[in-house]
Amino acid sequence: MNRACTVGLVLALAAGCGDNGKPGLLVETRVPRRVVAAGEPIDARCAVLDTTGQPALDKHGNPLTDSVELTITYRDPDAFAMDADGRVIAARVGTATARCAAPSLDLIDASAAEIEIIAGPAVRVVTQLASRLSSAGAPVGVTCLAFDAFNNRVAMFEQALAVSPFGAGVTTSATAVTATAAGEYDVSCVVSGAAEVDDDLLVVVPALPSALTVAVAPERTVYAIDEQVTLVDDARDRFGNRVDDVVLSYGSAPGVPSPSEAQFQFAADGAFALTATVTSPTQDAMRLTASRTVFVNSAGPAIQCMRADAPTQASEAYMLQRAPGTLVVPVHVTDAFPVQSVKINGTAATFNQATGNYEAGVPIGFGMSFVDVVATDQFGKENSTTCFVLAADSFTAEDSHMPGALAMRLDPNAISDPQPTGLDSLNASTAA
C-alpha cells in the first residue's frame, strides 16, 4: 500500500464520499485504538472500499488499497510527533483526528477518525511544599506534579516521599513530611519510572520554648566582692532544639547591681539567686524560669573576742583577777556561710549553744597572754585575730595605792600645762 503521512496538512477537497471521479468508491481511516497514550504510535491505516464496504479491486482483481497512493492528515499538528523510526506518535494530551485520502482517486474520508490522547507514563516529577518554612514537629503538606516525556501533566500515579537527611524525628506519609530536629531537609517525590526529580528545600526552625536552663559565666565555686558575672540562658523546645529567638527578664535575690542585661555585680558576701524568666510566647503558655545560686565570700568569718568572765561582752583586751591555770576563752564567730572550724591557740573550739560562742581551754599565767583565733568557713576562707588577756592575783584601782609596792603615776598634769601662765608643768620646766 502506498501511504503518505501529512502532519498538520489541512486538505480541502470538493468531492465527498463517492462523489468523485471514481463513483462507488470511498476511502476509510482506521486506527487500532481510539485512546492513545503520549509516546505511543497512532498506527493509522487507510482502506479503499466499495459501496458495500468491501475492499475495492482494480481491473486485475487486486485491492486498490495496495496500489494507489494514500495520504493521512493529522490534526492538531502539535498533538503528534515522529519517533526515531519515522512513525507518527501521540504527543500532546487532548482530542485529535486522523483523516485518509486517495488523491489519485479524488477521494477523502468524510468522517475523520477521532483520537483521544492521554498522558504517558511519568518520567519527571516536581516536588512542591505547602510551605518551605516550618517549626519542629509541624507537618508540611507536599504536592507531587508528574509529567510524561512530552511534558503532559500525569493525573493518576502512586507517590511516596523521600527526605534527606533522614533520621530520628523525620516521618513521612504520601502527602506530608514532619521533622522534629531543626535544620534543612531536601524533600523529593518518588514516582515509579520518574528518573528526573525536582526536589524542594524545607527549613525547620525550633518550636516554642518548653524548657529553660541557665549557667553563670565565669563559672566558679566562690566569687569575690565587686566581681561581675553573666547569666547565660539556654532555652529548648520540646524536641531539644535550642531556641534563640526568646525574650527574657533577669533578676536576683537578694538584689544586686546589674550593670547591663543578664550581668550582675556583687557588693557584699552572701548567697545570691540569679534568675532568668522567658517573657515571649512559650509552649502551651507555660511559665519558664530558671535560677542559679552563687556564693560571694571575700572576707571569711568575722571573729569577736569575748570576755571570759562575761561571755556576752565583746573585748579584744581585758584584765582578769585570777591565778595561773587553764582559762576557757570564748570567741564569737559569724559568717555569711556555715563555719567549718574554729581553733583557739591551735586547739579546736566547741560551740556553746547557750552563749552562741566558740570556746576552748587556754593556759593562762600571770601577766599578758596572747590568744590566737583562726576561723574557717565552708569554702575554706580563713580569718584570724588575737585576743589579749591580762591576768594577775590582784588589781588596784587607778585612784588607789597598791600596798607594799613602789609605783609611779602619770596624770594629765605631767604632760600638759593646766595653768599656761605658770612654770609648774613638765613642759614649762623643760622649756625653761
The three-state (H, E, C) secondary structure of 306-372, written as one string: ECCCCCCCECCEEEEECCCEEEEEEEEEECCCCEEEEEECCEECEEECCCCEEEEEEEECCEEEEEE
Q: Are residues 242 and 288 in the same domain?
A: yes
Instruction: Assign 412 to helix, strand or coil.
Output: helix
The three grid cell numbers given for residue 244, joined into one nine-digit string: 534563640
pLDDT for the residue 20: 38
In this structure, are 219 and 245 located in the same domain? yes
**Structure-block grid coordinates of residue 121:** 507514563
Number of domains in the chain: 4
pLDDT digits (tens, 9 = 90+) for 307-333: 999 999 999 999 999 899 999 999 999
Does residue 169 lie within any of the structural domains? yes
Give the mean pLDDT of 215-222.
95
Q: Which domain holds residue 258?
A: 209-296
The DSSP output letter for 85 is: T
412, part of any domain: no
Q: Tell whether 213 is covered by a domain.
A: yes
For residues 362-376, average pLDDT: 94
| Bridge-based pairing state of the strands 382-392 and 317-321 | parallel
Q: What CA–CA distance (Å, rounded) separates 287 from 212?
A: 10
The pLDDT mean for the chain works out to 89
Does residue 158 share a domain with residue 112? no
Query: DSSP assignment, residue 242?
Result: B
pLDDT value of residue 22: 60
Q: What is the mean pLDDT of the segment spanning 25-46? A: 95
In a domain, 22, yes or no: yes
Question: Are 228 and 315 members of one domain?
Answer: no
- Residues of the chain with pLDDT > 70, as a percent, come to 87
Other CB atoms within 10 A of residue 341 CB: 16
CATH code: domain of residue 46: 2.60.40.1930
What confidence tens digit (pLDDT) does each residue in 411-426 have? 666 666 666 665 554 4
Q: Write the CATH number for 260.
A: 2.60.40.1080
Q: Which of 275, 296, 317 is the last residue of a domain?
A: 296
Write the pLDDT tens digit of every residue in 253-301.
999 999 999 999 999 999 999 999 999 999 999 999 999 999 999 888 9
Segment among 92-106, 188-202, 208-222, 396-410 with least mean pLDDT: 396-410
- Which residue among 91, 118, 145 closes a domain? 118
pTM: 0.68
Classify residue 421: in a domain, yes or no: no
CA–CA distance, 332 with 127 (Å, rounded to integer): 80
* Polymer length of the chain: 432
Single-letter code of the amino acid located at 110:
A
**pLDDT of 148-177, one tens digit each?**
999 999 999 999 999 999 999 999 999 999
pLDDT of residue 421: 62
Do 242 and 286 fall within a single domain?
yes
pLDDT of residue 395: 75
- Residue-level pLDDT at 189: 97
Cα 337–Cα 338–Cα 343 angle in degrees, nearest 5: 120
Q: Tell me the pLDDT tens digit for each residue of 95-137.
A: 999 999 999 999 999 999 999 999 999 999 999 999 999 999 9
Q: Give pLDDT, residue 396.
A: 73
Cβ within 8 Å of residue 374, ≥6 positions away: 342, 343, 382, 383, 384
Check if the beta carbon of residue 177 is closer than 8 Å to that of residue 137: no
Among 186, 205, 224, identify where a domain stops.
205
Q: Which of 155, 157, 44 is nearest to 100 (CA)?
A: 44
Same domain, 134 and 195: yes
Residue 342 to residues 136, 286, 304, 310, 351, Cα–Cα distance (Å)? 58, 48, 12, 20, 9
For 111-115, 183-187, 382-386, 394-398, which range has the lowest pLDDT when averaged over its residues? 394-398
Three-class secondary structure assignment of 267-308: CCCEEEEEEEEECCCCHHHCCCEEEEEEEECCCCCEEEEECC
In a domain, 424, yes or no: no
